[in-house]
Structure 1
């Protein structure tokens, strides 16, 4: 399967998920604002960092919120971690770029208490390249980038094992697997 096709399919999947979730997101905002002494907060500060979730928020959810009378202020962060730190410190109202496993690891490591407002389906992990169009074109010794956060790094190591590039230790926990759990570099 070509990597470009995977990227197009992923974008379509994310678009649909965001449009569906935006309805729940708007209702969650409305419900929480009604509970706060019947005062509605008309400005929402949203932490955004590079990635498909944030692009979809800007393109699909933000216009819906604005049509409901909200002013959405986007606060740019170069990394997801920084937006989550800002959220836990209270300098922004929302972020939209983590899955539950990432949030659980963040809460545990930072002694934070982030809570999901809307569950957004995790996107399938994939291998992306600007240079190669199939796994067969990738040569032994090629460099692979792995996410810095523990939960997405674990997903990446599991994906590399599925691709046949590495072998993980038999007793490795797939949820928290790290580079220390690589038993063999096959590729």
Structure 2
């Protein structure tokens, strides 16, 4: 005859063992969950970010001042070389790169409209001003009727060049037009009958001695190794429109991601502000860096 008291005691011991084992398994599962959470990026995963890199002032500023900050946070930054500006934006829209720092809002808006992309210039960055430099003429006072001025021919920087000439007082633009999209046809006053040679920005410096003056966007002056201090007239913090400031450019779908927030935080950090001071005083700084 079976002793039920012994059976009951053995059953209780087995139950206690099962409960103890279950507790250990749950604890292990909890630890596993934490490890999995870490590897998914919530607790320090190395996240690879691909970005367009070119020899421009803003790209170099990113590499020198922002990249080290992001790497300390565990990010892996992989540069991708794309020379064509349209291809750059298409790569950004298609996710082949995650961001770049070489365009302004006016350009991004134009590409969105013409190409159907969904991009955002999410944060204004330190910007090298567009400026007029001497060609065959060395001072602004030498300007004469019929002088030729070479200017960039892409739509957004063309408009930017004409705005600069209006600020200088050499031309007047149609006040009813959107200044970000003006062309030579929108010049309503040109008392000196100045002539404008519209051409690709990177090529302008090669004909410098053949024209009276040249207008260069910051990246073209930087690549041509022109001293920014030699500019005869340049954009300034009060004259440059927000839409013409170089910006952190991303795809719309990524605007709420943690990595975008981390890049923005890096640009707003005291560490980056100190780094920019060491590179020169020519930058037009965004309000958050003043």
Task: Indicate the TM-score class for this superposition, using the shorter chain for normalisation.
Answer: 0.5 to 0.7
* CA distance in structure 2 between the aligned counterparts of 1:52 and 1:92, rounded to whole angstroms: 19
In 1, are the aligned partners of 2:50 and 2:77 still within 8 Å (CA)? yes
Question: Is 2:152 the counterpart of 1:146?
Answer: yes
Query: Hey, what does 1:162 align to over in structure 2?
Result: 167
Give ranges in structure 1 of 5+ residues lacking alignment: 1-33
CA contact (8 A) 2:162 2:182 kept: yes
Per the TM alignment, residue 147 of structure 1 is displaced from its structure 2 partner at its CA by 4.4
Distance change in 2, residues 1:79/1:49 (3 Å): farther
Task: Indicate how the Cα distance of structure 1 residues 50 and 110 shifts in structure 2: closer, same or farther if over 3 A, else same.
Answer: farther
Structure 2, unmatched stretches of 5+, are: 1-37, 195-290
Distance 1:77 1:147, change over 3 A: farther
- Aligned-residue offset at 1:93: 1.0
Equivalence map 1:63-78=2 (5 Å): 63-78=68-83
* Partner SS, residue 56 of structure 1: helix
Preserved contact between residue 147 and residue 156 of structure 1 (Cα < 8 Å): no
Determine which structure has the larger strand proportion and give its number: 2
Q: Which runs of 4+ in 1 moved over 4 A?
A: 121-124, 129-133, 137-140
Q: What TM-score, normalized to structure 1?
A: 0.66
3-state SS, counterpart of residue 112 of structure 1:
coil
Higher normalized contact order (CA 8 Å, seq sep 6+, divided by chain length): 2
Root-mean-square deviation (CA, aligned residues, Å) is 2.9
Q: Distance in 1 between matches of 2:173 and 2:148?
A: 19
Give per-residue Cα distances to partners, 1:37-57, cap 9 Å, x unaligned.
Answer: 748452111012343211211
Question: In the alignment, what sits opposite 1:99?
Answer: 104
SS in structure 2 opposite 1:78? coil
C-alpha displacement of 1:114: 1.0
CA–CA distance in 2 between the matches of 1:117 and 1:174? 21
Q: How far did 1:178 drift?
A: 1.3
How does the TM-score come out when normalised to structure 2?
0.45
Deviations 1:119-172 (A, max 9, x none): 436655432457765423455423322241x33322211111222333323433
